[in-house]
Amino acid sequence: AQSVTQPDIHITVSEGASLELRCNYSYGATPYLFWYVQSPGQGLQLLLKYFSGDTLVQGIKGFEAEFKRSQSSFNLRKPSVHWSDAAEYFCAVGGNYKLSFGAGTTVTVRA
Amino acid sequence: DTAVSQTPKYLVTQMGNDKSIKCEQNLGHDTMYWYKQDSKKFLKIMFSYNNKELIINETVPNRFSPKSPDKAHLNLHINSLELGDSAVYFCASGMTGGYEKLFFGSGTQLSVL
């Protein structure tokens, strides 16, 4: 069975500082990995995805993520956060006809 | 021109009532999903339909019954609503195995009083 763990429930970061969100996955085959963002009261928006190839993937809004098979990780990074990055972030793994999500990480941005 | 639209956006009802949430997609996708997001923001898949056939049913109580009249619609009917059903329900659509093109609706916030 596939599963995702996001160890950090809540992260607070200063505007302009860097951000890293952790994600660990469990899946028997080559994983399809995703990061989604959910702003308050909104649906989910895809930030980036990894299927194969280059293990460093670029996404929208200046985000990037690195796939590390040896660590079963797919951590999300942004070099300099903006106040508008305050949201809920979900890591997900695709397989068996579905996406399975982690519990999410809430990001708060302080001025 | 909303890609995946859900109605209603908010639903407030009493325990024991029966209610439905509707979902429609205009993307030509063949697979549709219902996800439940609880108060702790955890997203869990409930159902998936592919070409109107149920392919995923994740141990959801029988009070929940999805119905897919055609590939573009997947409705969720809930009987005898309970307090624990309060959550945000998201509809999503995509192509078979095409996770990269999964689109989510904006959610239906269900509050059971």
CA dist., res. A25 & res. A5, Å (int): 6
| Rg of chain A, C-alpha, whole Å | 13
Which residues in B lie closer than 8 A to residue A98 (C-beta atoms)?
33, 45, 48, 56
Of A43, A49, A103, the CB nearest to B106: A43
- Determine the residue type at B85: D
**Nearest Cα residue in chain B from A95:** B97
Strands (E), chain A: 3-5, 10-14, 19-21, 24-26, 32-38, 44-50, 56-58, 64-68, 73-78, 87-95, 98-101, 105-110
Measured in angstroms, the CA of A80 and the nearest CA of chain B are apart by: 25
Phi first, then psi: what are they for A50, rounded to 5°? -130, 130
Confidence of residue A29 (pLDDT cuts 50, 70, 90): confident
Task: Tell me the pLDDT of chain B (113 aa) as tens digits.
Answer: 678 999 999 999 999 999 999 999 999 999 999 999 998 888 999 999 988 888 888 878 999 999 999 999 999 999 999 999 999 999 999 887 666 678 899 999 999 99
**Nearest Cα residue in chain A from B89:** A43
Asked if B72 and B26 touch (Cβ cutoff 8 Å), the reply is yes
CA dist., res. A76 & res. A89, Å (int): 9
- Most B-contacting residue of A48, A52, A99 (CB-CB within 10 A), to test interface: A99
3-class DSSP state of A62: helix
**pLDDT for A7-21, tens place per residue?**
999 999 999 999 999
Q: What is the pLDDT of residue B57?
A: 84
Asked if B6 and B21 touch (Cβ cutoff 8 Å), the reply is yes
Residues in chain B: 113
Phi first, then psi: what are they for A69, rounded to 5°? -65, -40
Phi first, then psi: what are they for B84, rounded to 5°? -70, -10
Task: Give first-to-last CA distance, chain B, whole Å.
Answer: 33
Q: What is the pLDDT of residue A48?
A: 94
B97 touches chain A (CB under 8 A): yes
Measured in angstroms, the CA of A97 and the nearest CA of chain B are apart by: 6
Which residues in A lie closer than 8 A to residue B100 (C-beta atoms)?
32, 34, 46, 49, 51
Asked if B12 and B113 touch (Cβ cutoff 8 Å), the reply is yes
Task: Identify whether B8 is preceded by a cis peptide bond (ω within 30 of 0).
Answer: yes
Which residues in A lie closer than 8 A to residue B107 (C-beta atoms)?
41-43
3-class DSSP state of B33: strand
